[in-house]
Amino acid sequence: MKIVLLEHPRSIAPDRCNDIANTPLSSCLISGYVAGMLKSRGHDIEIIEGYLDRLSYAEIEDRIRTLKPDILGIHIVYHWQQDIALFNFLEKMKQLGQTSFITAYGFYATISPQAIMNNCAAIDSVIVGEAEGPFAELAEAINAKNSIFSVPGIAVRDVSCNSQFKKQTPIRDIDMVPFPVRTEALYRLPEVNILGSRGCYGRCTFCYVNAYHGKGIPWRGRSPENIEAEIKAIIAESGKRDFYFTDPNFFGPGQSGQERALRIAVLLKPMQIRFGIEGRVNDIHDETIAALVDAGLRHILIGLESGRDESLKRMNKMTTVAQNENALRILRKHGIEPNVGFIMFEPDATLQDIRINFEFLKRNDLLKNLAVTANVLYHHQIVLEGTEAFESLKREERLQLQSPGYEGSAGFRSPEVAVLSDIMRQVTNIIFSRMANIWSGRIIEPPGIQRRCSDINCIVVELFEYHLSALEAGKPFDAKQIALMVQAAEEEIDSSMHYSSTIL
């Protein structure tokens, strides 16, 4: 069968530039894994990189008209707004007869299959969970003209237009999954993305990684030898030696997880590559990090989330502030300055929580780099469907749903925390907007930018401390005062940056 997989065009609204990524980074290889599985079953596969290749829907329509696929698969990447343009495009493809069957897959599709089917009649099915196995079985059923209602992991409409599906059993041994297909667009990225494991053994209340892979499904790691084989194949194909492991948790649990990571380090070292990873702070062990750095580890993202144990318990992080600080010490000992995940503003946060978080960040030298500072001094807890936090707030009748309903929010219990969050969100969005082209690499850093960033960093830290102290002292702020303060901060930031079109 001829099957087209579409990575659809998408954009991020300006007021979202300081928020979480559309989906976990591991989703970037979902289409590739689907393509790899389908190719192994003898199907003719084409991936259209609508986003990375910056294609318009008119250009995508021309491609699909030429290809005339039997199945059009859509990796629906989470949007904060209803994606009318995508749904209208799919309706048009159906009406023009450019494809006879459309299926959707991905994190958003897994969490909200009913909403997707309600909003787009052109979508015939939604794959719930890991996509490659169900997609292959779906293609085989369609090719044989069999019913798709019994295919595990495939949600379809019943006579009442409700989505119905049988749960799939995710693949336990992911060494058995064919390597993902990588497009030219993916190879143009600074690093080659690679997935060494699936899922996470953590149970953080704000995370929906395990809701995608399947509740109760444990973390599953590929064997070090299987990872080695894929990297060797990538080097042979592309010559690239910069990699990023998109696993939500590179390390497996316990001692066996450390031993596996050490074995990976042994196999990677002779290849002379550079790579990045993501992990939990309790998995940052001195011996393992030393071996990984020796093998080419150059950067890592760790989820600190808070500088207060009470907050970590509320998030069910299963880590402590002491472990956060120990992880920072170990990484810095081996020359790694980590990128950090941090939730400054959670719905139940108090001013005391915020103060303790702020002092933790200062004490651990995490407020000296503008890109990090702008993140950690604002980031609020995003409440997504499929997470424990979403369900908990819903039970408490505190959940406020946003269109199309995949994201929710909850007002802060503390009005003072709400004020500080509002100020910092506006100020940091200004910074992210001004620095977008530089931090994305779209333009070369202008002369003196590091000094300017250092000046702006000081402005942001001082502004946070000033308003936190004022709120602690009981000073009230109304909407007009907040607007004037944000305007003054914007003028000071632009003055320090020597605002010009070259930076924008």
What is the overall mean pLDDT for the chain? 92
The whole-model pTM stands at 0.93
Spatial separation of the C-alpha atoms in residues 370 and 150, rounded to whole Å: 52
What is the reported pLDDT for 434? 87
Looking at the DSSP assignment, which residues form a beta bridge with residue 407? 384
Pairing of strands 44-49, 2-7: parallel
Q: What is the pLDDT of residue 318?
A: 96
Q: How many CB atoms within 10 Å of residue 92?
A: 13
Percent of the chain with pLDDT strictly greater than 90: 78
Instruction: Please say if the pLDDT value at position 15 is more than 70.
Output: no
Mean pLDDT of all residues in 315-334:
98
Alpha-carbon separation of residue 231 from 186, 224, 239, 413 (angstroms): 15, 11, 10, 48
pLDDT beyond 50 at 283? yes
Considering the chain, tell me which residue range(s) the CATH 3.20.20.70 domain(s) occupy. Answer: 190-341
The domain at 190-341 falls in which architecture?
Alpha-Beta Barrel (3.20)
pLDDT at 403: 65
| pLDDT for 302 beyond 60 | yes
More confident residue, 434 or 404: 434
Could you tell me which residues are beta bridge partners of residue 303?
341
Q: What local confidence, expressed as pLDDT, does residue 162 receive?
A: 74
User: Which residues make up the CATH 3.40.50.2300 domain(s) of the chain?
Assistant: 2-164
* Residue whose token pair is 């910069």: 242
pLDDT grade for 504, boundaries at 50, 70 and 90 = very low
What pLDDT, on the 0 to 100 scale, is given for residue 497?
78
167-210 pLDDT per residue, tens = 888 899 999 999 999 999 999 999 999 999 999 999 999 998 98
The matching CATH number, chosen from 1.10.3720.10, 3.50.50.60, 1.10.240.10, 3.40.50.2300, for 2-164 is 3.40.50.2300
**Cβ contact 434:503 at 8 Å:** yes
**pLDDT value at position 367?**
97
pLDDT over threshold 50, residue 43: yes
Q: What is the DSSP letter of 405?
A: S
Q: How far apart are CA 438 and CA 461, in angstroms?
A: 21
